[in-house]
Structure 1
Amino acid sequence: MTRDDGCQAGHGVHRRAFLSDMGMGFTGLALGSMLARDGVTRAESSTVWTPPTGDPHFTPKAKSVIWLFMNGGVSQVESFDPKPELTKYAGKSINETPYLDVQNPEKLKLARVTVINDANGQQRNKLYPLQVGFRKYGESGIELSDWVPHVGDCVDDLAVIRSMYTTDDNHGAQTQFHSGRHMLDGEFPTLGAWVHYGLGTLNDNLPQFISIGKREYWNAKDGHYLGPAHDAIPIRVDPGNPLDFGQPANGQTRAEQQVGFDLVGRLNRLKGVEYPDDPALNARIKAYELAFRMQTSVPDVLNLNIETEDTQKLYGLDDPATRDFGMQMLAARRFVEQGVRFIQVQHGAGGAGAWDAHGALKANHSGNFKAVDKPIAGLLKDLKQRGLLDSTIVLFASEFGRTPGSQGADGRDHHIFGFSVWMAGGGIKGGLVHGATDEIGFHAVENRHYVTDIHATILHQMGLDSRQLEVPGRKRLDIDHGKPILEILS
């Protein structure tokens, strides 16, 4: 059965393509079936959208991005925006402090909540004291938590942004930070997908967009309407098994696999002659060829044992508490070194996220920072000493912050009105603080930034104009594009 447009009903393969496949015999049918299975359909040449050329729109300052994402919500007041006033007024409701702003409906709402008892008869959202000390770090003298002493040593390379906000107060905000859109809006490409879509490869043997660490189902894809070709490739930091389906099947030797690959390559080139203007076909063929090359190249990058003992210690590989994340950070540096453009590292995924400290915040955050602080500092120091930090942007972020008030006896709830991230490298100024929250860390009150301002800043440094990347029929809102934070750029 065919439709009026000449396509087979339910399959989306054009009749012209089907007849051509018949002319190719079973080989053509096999490739055509494989492409259809992968969701690739051929379009008429008059309707084909020509994707970007792979060239930056203007001179870039950065070539690569390492995106460090802490799942669950990091407390801004116990990390990169210490607020001693919380300890001073601990146990009081906000309307018992000088900081109640009667013009601010959110603060009035918080004040009302504090006088309502919870099921246990305890008042909720009394201001909760800091659970850790803080001090000034570096020549810049920026105040940071005692839980980040190693990153503190690198503070003169950081731009700490203390004025972020978002709109999703549940963990779908993980998706929102990556894509800029609330989950209820639908599915939209992530920043990594836009970078992958906009720029060409730096290494033909490695994927240009990879993801390390577990991702939850609501934040597991990247390309969306750009297509699955722009999803991150999931990588395990295990040279023996780094990729799903990364080993030859049925006990094939590498030589035997090469023979089969050469045959498929010749057949693919025949198909390329037959369909020279089919970008989807060309993209899929390139993906199959890359998958083969990755079977050798990815394990080589992940062979961390060839690094010196001093380098391994720099990342904390000698300490069980820091070893796992340290391996991921060292792998990230090695991928950047080999020309991977966008490396997305998720820490603490699983359920809502390991940083989701509704209770026992002190134990939660001290343990999590113990795991990531030294490895992240090791990454920054190693990139810098190898001359790679100048061309690599490192971002530390979380989907939102945590409330200045308590939840239960010893936790903090989700908080979307003011939280912190930091950036380093790739033309980002170091040793500065941009933006501010109020005295108790509730609201971003100076230089407020929605999450897509981070996206815009990174794209700007990569030489990309997001408006030139728009896809026909997918008009983006102005807030989707964001605005570069020019104050932190050199």
Structure 2
Amino acid sequence: MPHPRPASGSIHRRNFLADAGMGFTGLALGALLAQDGITRANEIAPWQPPDGFPHFAPRAKSVVWLFMNGGVSHMESFDPKPELTKYAGKSISETPYADAQNPEKLKLARVTVINDANGQQRNKLYPLQVGYRKYGEAGIELSDWVPHMGSCVDDLAIVRSMWTTDDNHGAQTQFHSGRHMLDGEFPTLGAWVHYGLGSLNDNLPQFLSMGSREYWNAKDGHYLGPAHDAVPIRVDPKNPLDYGKSARGLSSEEQRIGFDLVGNLNRLKGVEYPDDPALAARIKAYELAFRMQTSVPDALGFEQETQETQALYGLDDPATKDFGMQMLATRRFIERGVRFIQVQHGAGGAGVWDAHGGLKANHEKNFRAVDKPIAGLLKDLKQRGLLDSTLVLFASEFGRTPGTQGSDGRDHHIFGFSVWMAGGGIKGGTVHGVTDEIGFHAVENRHYVTDIHATILKQLGLDSRRLEIPGRKRLDIDHGKPIHEILA
């Protein structure tokens, strides 16, 4: 006898699994159901573009989203400011840049304020903690901590005029979604791309993530539904993802028998159940997991790579090996057709780049870990002919203050910071936007974080306004504007 349907019109997942026989193998059936129109009918807000797909000709097929958790200092990376060293130890008011400490500008900034002997508030400028030089044919000045990325500068478009509004680490969520976390939960850019574009490879997830994600930034789909959350991947061929292999050690033949049986049962029962997006997402995820039992370990088969390629990513150096493996996995997933890969560097509540103290040691260590692997990814994609169709972003939630915090750190800074993009139709060897002489405010070509979203969507052939969900109209700032100046 069928289980009674709740009055709400939804169904308890346990009842569904009991009715449909999901306990046979723990496999997913989303693809089979989708072929019959069942799963797609039950997904939340499926996108059916009335005028074709894509909206316009794309320049890129895939996105690599490299995010440094904690707040990278823009002055010690992609926007060197020698004036900080020239006026080190002086309050901002004692320099030609006193207007940066205008109370109306300063009151929202998290800058360290120190009282002098007379009780007057003063903000002490902190000198650059590393040298800098010009890189590439473009002659772009970058920190000495990024020599490998510097060697790729002629492929980079550096945007030095970013701003945001969340001055704490919820800004990680804001950079991904475009909205302050206190506004509620909104889909991330990766979720929108997953929602708006078709699959390039049905044997792999189209949206995956690597690295640690904190609780405020752990999901992506939100009102689009959990089917549009990223699939977390571990760079471990033996255990790359949760529930990615049979718990009972069944053979592939045994799994296929159970899979086919449960598929038949679901085709009979699936149409009887009302909309349950979490359940639909779980069904699709289990089916994908069945196919990924061989496809994911193969993508993580680094032994198939030459020693030269492994060294390019730094797999031969303990300092770069962990992140290098993620970057090499990223290239292998890209060449297998994964659409959006989100890699987060630095675990912990704030993230490892959060250098309130000991900035020099912190950033030197972190750049040591990521610089060579990221450059390796760019060079490898380029030599394989994949960079033209892959847009790579390097970002962090905000920058860090020109003033000191404590004796040797910098605090969070939201009024000016840097990101860069490469590949996918981006104009390399480009610097766009300007911060003032001490890196306090973005003063030319200022860009809120959703301008990055709009630029990426444009390169993928998507118009964010035509992705809107009925009843979920977004604010204009949620859409952003493409940065045309950095497009080839």
Q: Which residue is equivalent to 2:189?
A: 191
Letter in 2 for 1:197: Y
Instruction: Please tell me whether the aligned partners of residues 160 and 423 of structure 1 are also in contact (alpha carbons under 8 angstroms).
Output: yes
Secondary structure in structure 2 of the residue aligned to 1:251: coil
Q: Which residue is equivalent to 1:218?
A: 216
Q: Which residue is equivalent to 2:76?
A: 78
The offset of 1:52, in angstroms, is 3.4
Question: Which residue, out of 130, 133, 137, partners 1:132?
Answer: 130
The 1-side partners of 2:205 and 2:335 are apart by 13
Q: Which residues of structure 2 form unaligned runs of 5+?
A: 31-37
Change (3 A) 1:103 1:152: closer
Does 2:260 correspond to 1:262?
Answer: yes
The offset of 1:261, in angstroms, is 1.3
Instruction: Please tell me whether the aligned partners of residues 100 and 107 of structure 1 are also in contact (alpha carbons under 8 angstroms).
Output: no
Does 2:304 correspond to 1:310?
Answer: no
Deviations along 1:429-465, one digit per CA (max 9) or x if unpaired, are 0001000000000000000000000000000100011
Q: Which residue is equivalent to 1:448?
A: 446
Deviations along 1:333-356, one digit per CA (max 9) or x if unpaired, are 000000000000000121210000
The 2-side partners of 1:405 and 1:192 are apart by 34
Q: Which residue is equivalent to 1:116?
A: 115
Question: Which residue, out of 197, 201, 204, partners 1:203?
Answer: 201
Letter in 2 for 1:116: N
Q: Which residue is equivalent to 2:319?
A: 321
Does 2:51 correspond to 1:52?
Answer: no
TM-score, with structure 2 as normaliser: 0.89
Q: Which residue is equivalent to 1:238?
A: 236
Deviations along 1:89-129, one digit per CA (max 9) or x if unpaired, are 000001100111289445565899645259xx998630000
Q: Which residue is equivalent to 1:227?
A: 225
The 1-side partners of 2:116 and 2:101 are apart by 25
Secondary structure in structure 2 of the residue aligned to 1:210: strand
Change (3 A) 1:172 1:413: same
1:156-195 equivalence runs, <5 A: 156-195=154-193
Q: Which residue is equivalent to 1:93?
A: 91
The number of equivalent residue pairs is 466
Identity, % of aligned pairs? Answer: 77
Does 2:461 correspond to 1:463?
Answer: yes
Give the root-mean-square deviation of aligned CA atoms. 3.0
The 1-side partners of 2:430 and 2:383 are apart by 21
The offset of 1:305, in angstroms, is 1.1
Instruction: Please tell me whether the aligned partners of residues 78 and 130 of structure 1 are also in contact (alpha carbons under 8 angstroms).
Output: yes
Instruction: Please tell me whether the aligned partners of residues 42 and 275 of structure 2 are also in contact (alpha carbons under 8 angstroms).
Output: no
Change (3 A) 1:424 1:319: same
Q: Which residue is equivalent to 1:424?
A: 422
Letter in 1 for 2:464: S
Instruction: Please tell me whether the aligned partners of residues 64 and 391 of structure 2 are also in contact (alpha carbons under 8 angstroms).
Output: yes
Instruction: Please tell me whether the aligned partners of residues 320 and 369 of structure 2 are also in contact (alpha carbons under 8 angstroms).
Output: yes
The offset of 1:259, in angstroms, is 1.8
The offset of 1:213, in angstroms, is 0.4
The 2-side partners of 1:50 and 1:84 are apart by 52
Question: Which residue, out of 468, 477, 482, partners 2:475?
Answer: 477
Instruction: Please tell me whether the aligned partners of residues 245 and 290 of structure 2 are also in contact (alpha carbons under 8 angstroms).
Output: no
Q: Which residue is equivalent to 2:33?
A: none
Higher alpha-carbon deviation: 252-261 or 305-314: 252-261
The 1-side partners of 2:406 and 2:112 are apart by 13
TM-score, with structure 1 as normaliser: 0.88
Change (3 A) 1:246 1:404: same
Q: Which residue is equivalent to 2:390?
A: 392
Q: Which residue is equivalent to 2:35?
A: none
Q: Which residues of structure 1 form unaligned runs of 5+?
A: 1-5
Letter in 1 for 2:429: G
Change (3 A) 1:320 1:46: closer
The 2-side partners of 1:475 and 1:57 are apart by 19
